[in-house]
Amino acid sequence: MKTTQVKQKESRTMDRSRSLHKRRLEAVPRGPYNTTPIYAASAKGAVITDVDGNRYIDFAGGIGVQNVGHCHPKVVEAVARQARQSVHTCFHVAPYESYVALAERLNEITPGNFPKKTMFANSGAEAVENAVKIARKYTGRPGVISFERGFHGRTLLAMSLTSKVKPYKHGFGPFAPSVYKLPYPYYYRAPEGMSPENVDEMILQAVNDFFIKDAASDEIGAMIVEPVQGEGGFVVPSKNFIQGLKKICEQHGILLIADEIQTGFARTGNLFAIQHFDVEPDLITMSKSIAAGLPLSAITGRAEVMDAPEPGQLGGTFGGSPISCAAGLAVLDIIEEENLVERARQIGRTMEERLQQMKEKFDLIGVVRGLGAMWAMELVKDRKTKEPAKEETVRILEQCWKRGLITISAGMYGNVIRFLPPLVIRDEELEEGLHILEEAVSSITQS
């Protein structure tokens, strides 16, 4: 990449974004945060254009929502067609085919060789809430296990299942009862000398001990786990760990809920991340990339489990809206037609190679890790002490957007930079984004 191109990007004007941001600060509270001050005017594929006409490569995808790319023509067409036909009749009042058709397709493509049923809601948090309601009703048990560094949303129950205190939970208690947190492997930060196998063994033992120390297994209805932790910092566990959890669930009659809200829809180089571990969960929560930006979430699970709640016990005014379901059907077609599962693997190979090279070059990068097209770098002040480099992370993100790349952070310590580019990203766009990233890291390490 020529430096002239990057220089030109540094001198970009942001007058309109700035003026909109001033209005935003007056009109909108601080709580709904912004990771960049860039106001989007349009977005296509893997590129966002702001209101000042600046172009950005998008490595955030609206936080993992744009696996099929911004404004995919097929999604736009499906949405427009549906909007001309009907926008909302409410599934509970006058149901429609797209809801049923999308449920049928999800029942077919989600892992699990057993009869399944699917219901829809609007957001990831709502999917999590409903999955827990369904599991409690089916098992008659109130307890739910979630994991350290897990993120499941911002509503009361989802927030209670979430692990990071600041900012997600601080000052918002009391939290929902009967929620228990157990450890999840973090091989990079394991005590020195401890192998991944030892870590798994220790944690699985802790899960077993939990039933002696904290709650009887017959009081636990569900265990919710991200097959790869998203907000937690793209932490990839071993097959042994996920299979160990499944075994424990089976032993105790606990339902395993795979939270695939960030990992689903081809992101990890499989349609669903749990497939990497050869585990069939009882319930799966999905959202984000399910409908390319239209608000939609889904819970798919064993038919007999999904049917436990009685008519009227589940639902909501907007859940599975006709427009969102039309977009969801288009997304599934696109993933298949454009072979995005394979594309995610290719993107992952390129990212892994380039990020490993960057790690060789910059001591600030403690580790790079990922699965499929879900990669991240964890930044540390010192490779030996592994002290998290949070300030440097913030500065790199700023240097990225100033140079034309949008990317976001993650991690318990806010020191992970994660990459969730649309899977339709072109090779030259991917290269451009990685080049900007390298320049941004370099600018911080030299200053």
DSSP-based three-state secondary structure for 107:
helix
CA nearest neighbour of 143 among 154, 130, 132, 159: 132
Minimum separation from the CB atom of position 236 to ligand PLP (A) = 14
Rounded distance between C-alpha atoms, residue 106 and residue 300, angstroms? 7
Q: How big is the site for ligand PLP, counted in residues (CB under 6 A)?
A: 15
Residue of 66, 110, 123, 270 interacting with ligand PLP (CB under 6 A): 123
Name the strand (E) or helix (H) holding 251: helix 239-252
Residue of 9, 152, 343, 359 interacting with ligand PLP (CB under 6 A): 152
Residue closer to ligand PLP by CB (options 130, 287) is 287
Q: Does 287 bind ligand PLP (CB under 6 A)?
A: yes
Q: Does 432 bind ligand PLP (CB under 6 A)?
A: no
Report which residue's Cβ sits closest to ligand PLP: 124
Site mask for ligand PLP (CB under 6 A), range 384-423, x = bound: ----------------------------------------
Specify the amino acid at residue 90. Answer: C
Q: Are 234 and 374 contacting, i.e. CB atoms less than 8 angstroms apart?
A: yes
Minimum separation from the CB atom of position 190 to ligand PLP (A) = 23
Rounded distance between C-alpha atoms, residue 100 and residue 112, angstroms? 19
Residue closer to ligand PLP by CB (options 62, 322) is 62
Q: Does 151 bind ligand PLP (CB under 6 A)?
A: yes
Residue closer to ligand PLP by CB (options 14, 158) is 158
Using CA atoms of 342, 349, 436, 75 in order, give the dihedral in degrees to the nearest 10.
10
Rounded distance between C-alpha atoms, residue 376 and residue 358, angstroms? 12
Minimum separation from the CB atom of position 182 to ligand PLP (A) = 16
Minimum separation from the CB atom of position 393 to ligand PLP (A) = 18
**How far, CA to CA in Å, does 63 sit from each of 17, 59, 80, 420?**
20, 9, 24, 7
Q: Does 128 bind ligand PLP (CB under 6 A)?
A: yes
Query: For residue 322, with 0-12 CB atoms within 10 Å meaning exposed, 13-18 middle and 19 or more buried, which class applies?
Result: buried
Q: Does 125 bind ligand PLP (CB under 6 A)?
A: yes
Part in contact with ligand PLP (CB under 6 A); list of ranges 119-127, 182-190, 391-399, 421-429:
119-127
Part in contact with ligand PLP (CB under 6 A); list of ranges 33-41, 118-126, 416-424, 432-440:
118-126
Minimum separation from the CB atom of position 447 to ligand PLP (A) = 32
Which of the residues 223 through 282 are near ligand PLP (CB under 6 A)? 226, 230-231, 259, 261-262
Rounded distance between C-alpha atoms, residue 254 and residue 217, angstroms? 8
Part in contact with ligand PLP (CB under 6 A); list of ranges 117-125, 201-209, 363-371, 386-394:
117-125
Q: Are 340 and 362 contacting, i.e. CB atoms less than 8 angstroms apart?
A: no
Sheet with 405-406, strands from edge to edge, namely: 40-44, 47-50, 55-58, 405-406
Query: For residue 250, with 0-12 CB atoms within 10 Å meaning exposed, 13-18 middle and 19 or more buried, which class applies?
Result: exposed
Q: Which positions ≥6 away from 280 have C-beta within 8 Å?
A: 111, 112, 113, 114, 246, 274
Minimum separation from the CB atom of position 32 to ligand PLP (A) = 11
Sheet with 179-182, strands from edge to edge, namely: 116-121, 297-302, 283-286, 255-259, 220-225, 143-147, 179-182
Q: Are 185 and 241 contacting, i.e. CB atoms less than 8 angstroms apart?
A: yes
Minimum separation from the CB atom of position 226 to ligand PLP (A) = 5
Residue closer to ligand PLP by CB (options 231, 392) is 231
Q: Does 440 bind ligand PLP (CB under 6 A)?
A: no
Minimum separation from the CB atom of position 261 to ligand PLP (A) = 4
Residue closer to ligand PLP by CB (options 245, 261) is 261
Minimum separation from the CB atom of position 55 to ligand PLP (A) = 26
Rounded distance between C-alpha atoms, residue 71 and residue 149, angstroms? 32
Residue closer to ligand PLP by CB (options 281, 404) is 281
Residue 299 DSSP symbol: E
Rounded distance between C-alpha atoms, residue 162 and residue 173, angstroms? 13
CA nearest neighbour of 21 among 10, 36, 9, 11: 36
Part in contact with ligand PLP (CB under 6 A); list of ranges 103-111, 122-130, 187-195, 323-331:
122-130
Minimum separation from the CB atom of position 287 to ligand PLP (A) = 5
Minimum separation from the CB atom of position 232 to ligand PLP (A) = 9
Which of the residues 51 through 80 are near ligand PLP (CB under 6 A)? 63
CA nearest neighbour of 292 among 265, 315, 260: 265
Which of the residues 311 through 370 are near ligand PLP (CB under 6 A)? none
Residues in contact with ligand PLP by the rule CB under 6 A: 63, 123-125, 128, 151-153, 226, 230-231, 259, 261-262, 287
